[in-house]
């Protein structure tokens, strides 16, 4: 039974501890992301959400525990597209970068251009943006570019760390709709981090609530929101105006 289950997970983490020097940021974290699902990670500032994301994509090396990825190329989307994009390079250049750095295959110029056109369609941006610099785009457009960069090598797992938190509410809704659409049309598995429980409600299948570096509870969004088991979860839900 267990072996079959593990095969359906794109990511399995067991007993993960993460350290910054002597300070421990994650304690015995276990979770899994099933293929094709959207797993939400909730919890207040400082509870370790970004630490978890960065450890999964290899940006934190100081950890113990088991981490099993069924994909070689997980991609990450960050909160602030302005910080994650290179201000000095045109959008077209930045979209090509993941292809230039692709260690699995070489991309001809024609293939690169074709891939860029396909990805621009997926993130619903016009080709006229390719010659612009990040400062010449709106916040929503910049986040679409960042999502596009993440999609260039057709990842099967995307980790999005507060991807809409820096955006206006109307733009937030558009970008969430885009992520939902990309999930549906590409079969993407998504690990979606947000302190905003309303956003998690809109997008996610399951949710994990974290507190002080530990997993407090997990379940389907329906279960956890209707029957929170911990006072802390209730506090978060009521602070978000949900209960």
Ligand X SMILES: Nc1ncnc2c1ncn2[C@@H]1O[C@H](COP(=O)(O)OP(=O)(O)OP(=O)(O)O)[C@@H](O)[C@H]1O
**Interface positions with Mg ion (CB under 5 A):** 49-50
Q: Are 171 and 139 in contact (CB under 8 A)?
A: yes
State the Cα angle at 22 between 19 and 26, rounded to 5°: 30
Is the backbone of residue 212 left (phi > 0), alpha (psi -120 to 50) or beta? left
39: helix, strand or coil: strand
Of 4, 45, 61, 105, the one binding ligand X (CB under 6 A) is 45
Give me the 172-201 binding string for ligand X, x by CB under 6 A, dash otherwise.
-----------------------x------
Contact 209, 217 (CB under 8 A): yes
80 vs 113, which CB is nearer to ligand X? 80
Phi, psi of 132 (to 5 degrees): -90, 165
- Say how many residues touch ligand X, by CB under 6 A: 12
Specify the residue for token string 């109307």.
170
Provide the 8-state DSSP code for 15: E
Residue 212 CB, nearest approach to ligand X (Å): 9
Q: How far is the CB of 74 from ligand X (least distance, A)?
A: 17
Contact status: 211 vs ligand X (CB under 6 A): no
Distances, alpha carbon 107 to alpha carbons 92, 101, 111, 113, 159, in Å:
15, 10, 6, 9, 25
Question: Quick one: which of 5, 28, 46, 66 contacts ligand X (CB under 6 A)?
Answer: 46
Q: Which does 20 bind (CB under 5 to 8 A by kind): ligand X, Mg ion, none?
A: ligand X
Residue 40 found at the interface with ligand X (CB under 6 A): no
Among ligand X, Mg ion, none, residue 46 binds (CB under 5-8 Å by kind): ligand X
Stretch touching ligand X by CB under 6 A, among 48-56, 125-133, 139-147, 148-156: 48-56
Looking at beta carbons only, is 39 or 91 nearer to Mg ion? 39
Contact set for ligand X, span 81-140 (CB under 6 A): none
Pick one of 6, 7, 15, 20: the residue that binds ligand X (CB under 6 A): 20
Q: What is the 3-state secondary structure (H, E, C) of 45-109?
A: CCCCHHHHHHHHCCCCCCEEEEEEECCCCCEEECCCHHHHCCCCCCHHHHHHHHHHCCCCCCCCH
Site residues (CB under 6 A) for ligand X? 20, 23, 25, 43, 45-51, 195
């Amino acid at each position: 039974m267990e072996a079959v289950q593990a095969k359906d997970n794109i990511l399995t983490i067991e007993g993960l501890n993460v350290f910054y020097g002597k300070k421990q940021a994650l304690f015995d974290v276990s979770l899994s992301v099933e293929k094709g699902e959207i797993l939400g990670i909730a919890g207040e500032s400082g509870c370790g959400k970004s630490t978890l994301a960065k450890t999964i994509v290899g940006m934190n090396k100081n950890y113990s525990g088991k981490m099993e990825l069924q994909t070689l190329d997980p991609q990450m989307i960050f909160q602030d597209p302005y910080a994650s994009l290179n201000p000095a390079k045109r959008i077209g250049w930045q979209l090509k970068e993941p292809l230039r750095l692709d260690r699995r295959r070489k991309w001809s110029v024609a293939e690169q251009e074709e891939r860029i056109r396909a990805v621009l369609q997926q993130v619903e941006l016009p080709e006229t943006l390719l010659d612009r610099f990040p400062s010449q785009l709106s916040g929503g457009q910049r986040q679409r570019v960042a999502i596009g960069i993440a999609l260039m090598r057709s990842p099967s797992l995307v980790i999005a760390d507060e991807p809409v938190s820096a955006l206006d509410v109307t733009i937030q809704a558009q970008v969430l709709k885009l992520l939902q659409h990309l999930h549906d049309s590409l079969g993407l598995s998504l690990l979606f981090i947000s302190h905003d429980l309303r956003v998690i409600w809109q997008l996610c299948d399951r949710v994990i609530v974290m507190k002080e570096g530990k997993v407090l509870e997990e379940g389907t969004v329906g279960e956890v929101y209707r029957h929170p088991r911990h006072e802390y979860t209730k506090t978060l839900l009521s602070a978000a105006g949900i209960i």
